[in-house]
Amino acid sequence: MALATRATRTDRRPSKTPTFWDSTVGKKTVMAVSGLVMLLYLVVHMLGNLKIFFGTDEFNGYAHWLRTVGEPFMHYEWTLWLVRIVLVLAVVAHAVSAYQLSRRDIKARPTPYVHKRKRASYATRTMRWGGVILGLFIVWHLLDLTTLTVNEHAVHGEAYQNVVATFSTWYGNVIYLVAMVALGFHVRHGFWSAAQTLGVGSAARDRALKTAANGLALLLTVGFVSVPVAVMTGVVS
């Protein structure tokens, strides 16, 4: 029936279905999933940080336990390294897609408007700059409290003292506070945005999602910030 097919041609335009990663929606999905992975980690991380309020032994004990989680099935530090690998992958995936999407977005508006509007891109700006701030912060944070390269105390196994040392410097506090405020804004839009990207958002659920996003952002910021505040005010020393 070649003839008939020809006459009522219904074949589609010769386009190849774009692969997931090539499409903007696919990249956004990668961002959403990697973001949620990091978010989950942050919640656990923040809760763990609060152990500092129970004293040196408990906090340092907790830090040690993190290396022995999963034993005897897991070898020493295996779980920790597993988590680290997942996190690095998440950060890289998040950052690469963010970078590529941002480049694309900027290219999509080559000529800016002459008349600038103030209220325009609140979310976009906070996400982009917030993301950069957070990326830089992670580097510093690892050098400070993981590798202890820049830490003033810098004794492995003495997590409590290392933390106190960090928050006893003015720059340690400033960097941390700025980063945590950025984190709050990032999570606030990011969580809700991830829900939209993953197709969970709807008009009916919008309020609940926004409330959850605000709650999470607030919880994380307050939780993380409580530690330097406690050091500064002498509650933890």
Q: Given the rule CB under 8 A, which of 24-32, 132-140, 156-164, 165-173 is the region that contacts other proteins? A: 24-32
Contact call for residue 192 and other proteins (CB under 8 A): yes
In the bound state with other proteins, the residue whose beta carbon lies nearer, of 23 and 149, is 23
Contact call for residue 17 and other proteins (CB under 8 A): yes
Polymer length of the chain: 237
Strand stretches in 75-141, DSSP E: none
Contact call for residue 58 and other proteins (CB under 8 A): no
Restricting to residues 161-180, name those near other proteins by CB under 8 A: none
Amino acid at site 143: L
Q: How many CB atoms lie within 10 A of CB 147?
A: 11
Contact call for residue 23 and other proteins (CB under 8 A): yes
Q: SS3 of 48, please?
A: helix
Q: Which helix (H) or strand (E) holds 96?
A: helix 78-108
Residue 179 CB, nearest approach to other proteins (Å): 21
Candidates 57, 112, 156, 207: give the one binding other proteins (CB under 8 A).
Answer: 112
Residue 211 CB, nearest approach to other proteins (Å): 16
Contact call for residue 30 and other proteins (CB under 8 A): no
Contact call for residue 234 and other proteins (CB under 8 A): no
Contact call for residue 36 and other proteins (CB under 8 A): no
Contact call for residue 117 and other proteins (CB under 8 A): yes
Residues 6+ apart with CB under 8 A from 176: 137, 166, 167, 224, 225, 228
Distance from C-alpha of 97 to C-alpha of 31, rounded to nearest angstrom? 6
Locate tokens 């690469």: which residue?
Answer: 96
CB 193, CB 222: distance < 8 Å = no
Residue 34 CB, nearest approach to other proteins (Å): 15
In the bound state with other proteins, the residue whose beta carbon lies nearer, of 29 and 166, is 29
Distance from C-alpha of 62 to C-alpha of 159, rounded to nearest angstrom? 9
Contact call for residue 129 and other proteins (CB under 8 A): no
Candidates 147, 202, 211, 237: give the one binding other proteins (CB under 8 A).
Answer: 202
Contact call for residue 121 and other proteins (CB under 8 A): yes
Residue 139 CB, nearest approach to other proteins (Å): 24
CB 166, CB 58: distance < 8 Å = no
Check residue 15 and give left, alpha or beta (phi > 0: left; psi -120 to 50: alpha): beta
Q: Is the dihedral of CA 57, 58, 62, 68 positive or negative?
A: positive
Q: Which residues bind other proteins (CB under 8 A)?
A: 3-4, 6-13, 15, 17-18, 20, 22-29, 101, 104-117, 120-124, 127, 189, 192-193, 195-203, 206
